[in-house]
Amino acid sequence: MNHISQTAIEAFKADFSGSVMLPDDVQYEETRQIWNAMIDRRPSMIARCSSLDDIVQSLNYVRANDLPFSIRGGGHNIAGNSVCDNGVMIDLSLMKGVLIDQKLHRGYAEPGCTLADFDASAQAYGLATPLGINSTTGVAGLTLGGGFGWLSRKYGMTIDNLLGMDVITADGQQLHTSETENADLFWGLRGGGGNFGIVTRFEYQLHPVGPNVLCGLIVFPFDQAKSVITQFARFTETMPDELNVWMVTRKAPPLPFLPKTVHGKEIVALAICYTGDPAEGEKHIEPLRGFGTAHGEHIGVQPYTDWQQAFDPLLTSGARNYWKSHNFSSLGEGAVDAIIEYAGTLPSSQCEIFIATLGGQTGRAQSEAMAYSSRDANYVLNVHARWETAAEDERCIDWAREFFTRTQPYASDGAYINFLTDDETDRIAFAYGASYERLVELKKKFDPTNLFRVNQNILPA
C-alpha cells in the first residue's frame, strides 16, 4: 500500500473545503463503491471535492506525493476507472451544479452531474442536449468518451454539442478549451476520455426538445426475432432523423403491459423515441407494429425526463457487469443470426444484447474533427452481461466473449471507448483508429509523464 503519512493527510485536510475519508471512517465502504460491483478497489484516501480549489489541491497533492489516483464523476464507468487501489480517489460526485442560459440555448455542468441532474435543469426551459439513456450515468465520463442517446440522430453526439470546457492539466494549469482556445486540447478531449486532465466545467449547445415526446416500447415474441430484427435493420437505414429506434433482446422484465406468462421469457423489444410533433411521429412508427405479432406495447406521449429514466430499474448499481461491444455500419444476416443464437442462451435473467442506432446527424461530422472518429458507425452493439454473484462470473463472461468473437467478422472499424472493459487495453488503438497517433502526440504535449493513467490509457510514447 502507498504510505501517506498522517502529517501529510492532516496538512491536506486543513485547506480542503470538502470531506476526506480514510479506510477506517464510517462512510468509507459505501463511498468507495461504484456502479459495477465487479470492481472492488480500496483507495488509501477519498477526497470528496466541493469546489474548484479542492480539485486543484487534490491534483497538486497526488503529484507532489507521486500517488496513483482516480477521478470519479458519476462512478458509472464499466471498466471501473473511477476507483483505484492504494491511492487517492478524487471524488467529484458532489459537484452537481447546472446553469442554463435560456436565451443563448447553452447549458453548463459541473463534473459530478448525472444525466438526471442536467436533463431536469434543461427541461425546465424545454431544452436538452444529446446525452445517454440511463439517468444515473455521469455527464463527465459520458461526454469525454463521445456520448450518444435518443437525441443523437437529430442533434449529433454529445461531443458534437460541446462548445467548451474548463480543464486542469497535468502541470496544474487551468485552461479553457474550445474551437478557438487551446483547440488541440479541445480536439483530444472530445472522445479522448480522461487522458488529458480533469474537466471542471462543460458547456453544451442546447436544443428545443419536449418537454413531452412520443416514446415507448413494442415487445415481440422471441420466436419472431429473425423477422423483427431484420426489418429493424432495414427500417433504421431510412427513418427520419427525428426518430430513433433501438433494439434489445433479453428476458422480459415484469412490465405491466405484458401478460404475466411472458415475464421471464426471451423477447425482442423495440425502444422508440420521436422528438418532433407526436402526431407526425405516430405515422412514422406505425410500420414498426407490423414487424410481427407483438406481446404488447406501451407507447405514448410522456415527459422526456421520464423516458430518460425508463431503463434505470434495469441498470441499478450493485450488480456484476461485463460488456463487449462492436460498431457496425450495417446489420446483415450474419450479425442478426449471431444475435439470435446468443440471445437464446442468456446465462442470467439480467443479461441482454442491445443495438443502439446512430446515423443521422452523428454521421455528418468529419471523422478527423475530434478524437472520436467512428462516424461510419450507424449501430453500436453492446452485449451486456449482468448477474448477481461471483459464482456466475465465468459463465457470464465467457458467454459475452464468445458472442463478441462470433460477431466480429461483421463489425466495422473502431469501438466506443466508454464500452471497453478493463481487460481490453489491447483495443484502445483500434477504438480510436486514425485519431490514435494524433492522440499520442497530444498526450506527449499535455501529459508526458502519464500522470492521468487510470483510464483507457493513451501512452505518451
**Tens digits of residue pLDDT in 348-404:** 999 999 999 999 999 999 999 999 999 999 999 999 999 999 999 999 999 999 999
CATH 3.40.50.300 fits 98-209+436-446, yes or no: no
Distances (CA, A) of 75 to 40, 88, 89, 91, 327: 13, 15, 11, 9, 24
Contact 31, 92 (CB under 8 A): no
Q: Per-residue DSSP letters for 238-261?
A: TS-TTEEEEEEEEEPP--TTS-GG
- Residue 208 sits at the vertex; the CA angle it makes with 202 and 213, to the nearest 5 degrees, is 110
Residue 127 has pLDDT above 90, yes or no: yes
CA distance 296 to 219: 6
From the CA atom positions of the chain, what is the Rg in Å? 22
Grid coordinates representing 9 are 493527510
Contact 20, 44 (CB under 8 A): no
The model's pTM is: 0.96
pLDDT tier at 114, thresholds 50, 70, 90: very high
Q: Where are the domains of the chain?
A: 6-91, 98-209+436-446, 213-419
Q: For the chain, what's the residue count? A: 461
Question: Residue ranges of the alpha helices (H) in 236-325?
Answer: 278-285, 304-308
SS3 sequence of 125-159: CCEECCCCCCCCCEHHHHHHHCCCCCCHHHHCCHH
Could you tell me the fold of the domain covering 213-419? Vanillyl-alcohol Oxidase; Chain A, domain 3 (3.40.462)
Q: What is the pLDDT of residue 208?
A: 98
List the one residue out of 145, 149, 84, 71 whose CA is nearest residue 111: 71
Tell me the pLDDT tens digit for each residue of 424-459: 999 999 999 999 999 999 999 999 999 999 999 999
Class of domain 6-91: alpha beta
pLDDT averaged over every residue in the chain:
96
Ramachandran category for residue 407: left, alpha or beta (phi over 0 → left; psi -120 to 50 → alpha): alpha
